[in-house]
Structure 1
């Protein structure tokens, strides 16, 4: 077979099937694999009594990557029957494998995630290479799916309902081999490839009568769902699951729970059919497609360098970085650089302040050591890379400068001018700013071509996104360097233009102001928060405003207003800004840091919504529709994203989706702010119609841009 994906070797009755798809960098559960597996299974059956056992392993860096996500994006109601038949054929193959009558061992020599682990679970014994880079698990829930090749059925029968749900299926955790062994997902680990092969053969020879536990009776560890002791816990479990998502449209978790529970009260074959039904429902739905597009393909597109200028090779690497400002942002940037192996000079106006920044890194590292993420020796080595200083001379030779001081153009310019003669003459010059135009800041240095914005998010060591902001004079070489440095730091870069607020600050502002406007209309504040959570945002929007402090969005919006006046640009006042002004100036409640905002606080903890909100702003709109509030929050951000794309501030919908998911908490089920538009029920016409309805009722801020008529409707970044 020219498209064969499985290599065959035989040694004294033990057959090794090595999966190595010649057409892909990883092995996937596609049509070529299915055809090759059919041939291999038929050949195994033909051997008869001469067959002693089977070893399944991989010829790739990964063991098996599971279903091909490109194929899943194409599944819809029209081809659901065909897709179901394909899925059922794969399941029949895996049942044939585990009922061959001889022991079958999975020799896991690379990551086995999703379908890869499902293949391994259809083997009687699983041995993994003890490699720290290998991951084992069923992460389908993170893509809006459930394991559809027997993963639900087999993990429940292997581990029991509670463990399978709480440790594997619902969290989608990817485990290191040692942790997977402890959990029971695998049975053994091997130190190297030779030991892996030897252990697989030895187990086969010692277990000639191996059978799956579910084929030796249909007991489920801990009990079936119809056992009284289990059944009484199920309503609580379902309620907890609903509460976790606050009513947001995240159907995968509910489908996993249903499939797992139902699978325990029927035989294996029926259980597999139940699992298939739930999987097809998810795969044909739009939500899974949104999540796959935004979190997988778009993220892959962004990290592969789609927005990086071509021709600048090899990739640039920074050796030493001068971080200017040792506050929370500067300390987080310094720690992130040290974690990436970069030497850090953390400078502030005096040594005590600089040392406080280093102390922050020490505290974070101590927590990581306690959590088992680093050894003490590793943490000590990371901290040793950070030199706290107040002496400009210590910055000599640094090839990267990241300024992280207060959002004041004069101050930022001053700290750059102080260090330019000390750092390397070709050092990349970067400002960590969330709103200040990079073109203006670049005027403070005599090398504006080397100047760029790197907008980190707080806390830096945990937040994955970095906005790379390109000024008018930023060179393509500088952009390429910055892109490479962000990847070197282990973060995800999106490239944006130099418009005020860039992308993330500008888009989130639209939601913050919309929530404030709702309050000004007399909508109950609890309803605004409930709408935020049901939309899928991680926290209520009024609570988020308090966290940011109301003065920040009020100031940013004022800057937009001032800019429009100086350029004679059209500007439409947003009613939400007046609400912020009232809270700040009249009520003296600017947010959590002041101990009072939309919420009351006690000892820094959020207690309750401020009772005075109703007195100041309502009631005004009784009987409002919660779905309308949800639409306003989502569509406000989506329309601002569309305007950023139309103006060229954003270079791609992939950058828009990844940036909105990672940077501003746009709901996961949408796949990102751009994908929300592309995947809107009824298409672009329906999205435009809904936007115009909102514009008629609430104002021109909801008028869709003309560019929506040519919005990309096909998946972006699938390559």
Structure 2
């Protein structure tokens, strides 16, 4: 658990938890930490303590199993004193040892995150190996929690509120070099030997080390209870200048949807006004309130546990040997194809980027070239590495250059005939083991596979734009897609370090189908006479990244029109009978307002100025005399997406609710505080959700009407992620 040794009168506690890939916080490590720290503190021959690790990382934070148990527990039924003491125990021992009278040094050899970095904050001095891949930080806010072992109290006292508050609120993680600049650590070391030597040297020079907030400064009224925070205390003018507008900015950014950020601000504000012994109790109190909040439970389940499993390839067929993809062919050198080429080359694969001419393909290569230039200018990559990545991309107009590719990704326009043409043209040069993937966002894969001579090796691989930033890839199984094709595609997605979800075939699949309801419902609301500004503000206040009309402009209204025309041709459903179809048709055919691309859409885009909602909307669609509330609009936008996701699960498009949650957050920005679209339904409660859907259906149309299976679940007290979680498909 902890390897204990003494060298030159200095105790070295090296974390080394057996059976764990990383050192983590749990009851076993807690007991071992106390045992070994007490041993060192009580030994009169020990003059200082170095805390290090024998694993590749320093300390990773909370144990996953312990966290699951903690989140599953109903803390409201516990004795308050017992519950508090359980949550406070790490805080208590950290405080005990930082005031024990012996200098403590953290020798950080790898990742120090969450509770791992809080161990470092307990120490009087922090040295880290200068490894740019190492991450140091307190990421708890990203999953709905706050640092619960002193992080919200020690960090502001250490580096000041101005730097600490954004670091805590955003859950930042930084490299050792950046950590040194920020003041998170004191020193960098080139290798483990130098780090150990530096730690010993510091202990020898500081035999009576204390934390700065525990020092009594003679001649000044600055005792333990009046520590001067770097940059100014809460009561100082600078402190007031930071916290007052900071609170307003926090509300503007979070829209009140993220309780962890509010709790962190409260911890800092209240904690910095009292001594450390009381401050850490304030922190624990807020930590306990977050544990009982469904936001934290939902975010941790999806963004922590589910994401980890997805990134490990949980959906990959287990009986198919892994494929090391070495060469990838990209058909189409537009922004999407060029983005796919970039992430593939960045992962070390050879890339053949094909377009109708070499000139077009070379032009597409400019996109990765520009991204690499930015990486070099920002110091994230050296020039030699950038040139090496770019050299992996070969621009061509010849289909025969696709010989030897393990995977082909077609990224041409959303036109069935064009996709069929490039499929047949390319397949003639592929080996029998090569997989052909289509990056279509809406067209059914089974239909596209009809153009292929090998439908078993034909699959959908849906990227999101911009490819270099968007973390999700939606993999679509056609009726004849083989397990081998799926396994190879997941191997590829994992190699480019993106998160895969696997869905079954249908028009729009999962993500495009559900995301489309957000824009279509927003357009529909506007056309009914709800003020466009109210529609947009309701979207962002609900937690969506941008309003639905803004999204429609960005995606392009004429592109939505083309998709609707293709759907009309394939299904026979007229555009006018598709959600928001009449508005989209009018904007394209009559008004020629295509969106941001031609600077005219639901917004106006002046050359020199900020975009604004087009005033003509109010003439085309007069306002209702009585406008709905923001809450009503928020509910309508979120519920519309959610009922579509439920239908996807029932129809077997989605394989499980967890994939639906991951996809909704990563693909189109469904509010992360909900934990994803199915967690949102659970948070509302199925009985309430069904009741509200019926009300919305009566008012606005059958698209809101709940399914019979959803009614059964609600009647039986079931949920998508609860004890009675149902497999609907």
TM-score by length of 1: 0.94
Q: Distance in 2 between matches of 1:72 and 1:510?
A: 36
How far 1:364 moved relative to its partner? 1.2
Structure-1 residue corresponding to 2:99: 99
- Residues 573 and 73 (structure 1), Cα distance of their counterparts in 2 relative to 1, 3 Å cut: farther
Does the residue aligned with 1:50 lie in a helix, a strand or coil?
Answer: coil
How far 1:27 moved relative to its partner? 2.5
Q: Distance in 2 between matches of 1:713 and 1:367?
A: 42
Q: Distance in 2 between matches of 1:477 and 1:368?
A: 35
Structure-2 residue corresponding to 1:19: 15
How far 1:571 moved relative to its partner? 13
For the 8 Å contact 1:225–1:264, the answer to whether it is kept is: yes
- Find out whether 1:192 has 2:205 as its counterpart: no
Structure-1 residue corresponding to 2:504: 497
Q: Distance in 1 between matches of 2:620 and 2:175?
A: 54
Farther off after superposition, 703-712 or 451-460: 703-712
How far 1:250 moved relative to its partner? 1.4
Q: Distance in 2 between matches of 1:331 and 1:662?
A: 21
- Residues 359 and 199 (structure 1), Cα distance of their counterparts in 2 relative to 1, 3 Å cut: same
- Find out whether 1:235 has 2:244 as its counterpart: yes
Does the residue aligned with 1:704 lie in a helix, a strand or coil?
Answer: coil
Quick one: which of 600, 612, 629 aligns to 1:608? 612
Gaps of 5+ in 2: 217-226
How far 1:359 moved relative to its partner? 1.5
How far 1:561 moved relative to its partner? 5.6
Q: 1:337-379: CA deviations, max 9, x gaps?
A: 1101001111111111011011121111111111111111111
How far 1:536 moved relative to its partner? 0.5
Structure-1 residue corresponding to 2:235: 226
- Residues 326 and 623 (structure 1), Cα distance of their counterparts in 2 relative to 1, 3 Å cut: closer
For the 8 Å contact 2:298–2:679, the answer to whether it is kept is: yes
Q: Distance in 1 between matches of 2:494 and 2:238?
A: 50
Structure-2 residue corresponding to 1:687: 689
- Residues 229 and 321 (structure 1), Cα distance of their counterparts in 2 relative to 1, 3 Å cut: closer
For the 8 Å contact 1:521–1:621, the answer to whether it is kept is: no
- Residues 251 and 80 (structure 1), Cα distance of their counterparts in 2 relative to 1, 3 Å cut: farther
Q: Distance in 2 between matches of 1:402 and 1:454?
A: 7
Structure-1 residue corresponding to 2:416: 409
For the 8 Å contact 1:299–1:654, the answer to whether it is kept is: no
Does the residue aligned with 2:687 lie in a helix, a strand or coil?
Answer: helix
How far 1:34 moved relative to its partner? 2.2
Quick one: which of 580, 598, 601 aligns to 1:576? 580
**Which 4+ stretches in 1 moved above 6 angstroms?**
none
Structure-1 residue corresponding to 2:282: 274
Q: Distance in 1 between matches of 2:122 and 2:251?
A: 31
Structure-1 residue corresponding to 2:116: 116
Structure-1 residue corresponding to 2:682: 678
Q: Distance in 2 between matches of 1:80 and 1:549?
A: 56
How far 1:171 moved relative to its partner? 2.3
Quick one: which of 30, 42, 49 aligns to 2:38? 42
- Residues 674 and 560 (structure 1), Cα distance of their counterparts in 2 relative to 1, 3 Å cut: farther
Q: 1:402-433: CA deviations, max 9, x gaps?
A: 11111111111211222223333321111111
Gaps of 5+ in 1: none
Structure-2 residue corresponding to 1:73: 71
How far 1:42 moved relative to its partner? 3.1
| Alignment RMSD (CA, Å) | 2.2
- Residues 509 and 461 (structure 1), Cα distance of their counterparts in 2 relative to 1, 3 Å cut: same
Structure-1 residue corresponding to 2:51: 56
Q: Distance in 2 between matches of 1:113 and 1:67?
A: 9
Does the residue aligned with 2:238 lie in a helix, a strand or coil?
Answer: helix
For the 8 Å contact 1:293–1:715, the answer to whether it is kept is: no
For the 8 Å contact 2:84–2:284, the answer to whether it is kept is: yes
Quick one: which of 450, 464, 489 aligns to 1:457? 464
Q: Distance in 2 between matches of 1:12 and 1:430?
A: 62
Structure-2 residue corresponding to 1:8: 4
Does the residue aligned with 1:330 lie in a helix, a strand or coil?
Answer: helix
How far 1:591 moved relative to its partner? 1.6
- Find out whether 1:311 has 2:319 as its counterpart: yes
For the 8 Å contact 1:248–1:533, the answer to whether it is kept is: no
Structure-2 residue corresponding to 1:701: 703
Q: Distance in 1 between matches of 2:125 and 2:133?
A: 21
What number of residue pairs does the alignment pair up? 704
Q: Distance in 1 between matches of 2:84 and 2:559?
A: 52
- Find out whether 1:90 has 2:90 as its counterpart: yes
Structure-2 residue corresponding to 1:473: 480
Structure-1 residue corresponding to 2:149: 149
Does the residue aligned with 1:332 lie in a helix, a strand or coil?
Answer: helix
How far 1:230 moved relative to its partner? 2.4
Structure-2 residue corresponding to 1:203: 202
- Residues 249 and 715 (structure 1), Cα distance of their counterparts in 2 relative to 1, 3 Å cut: farther
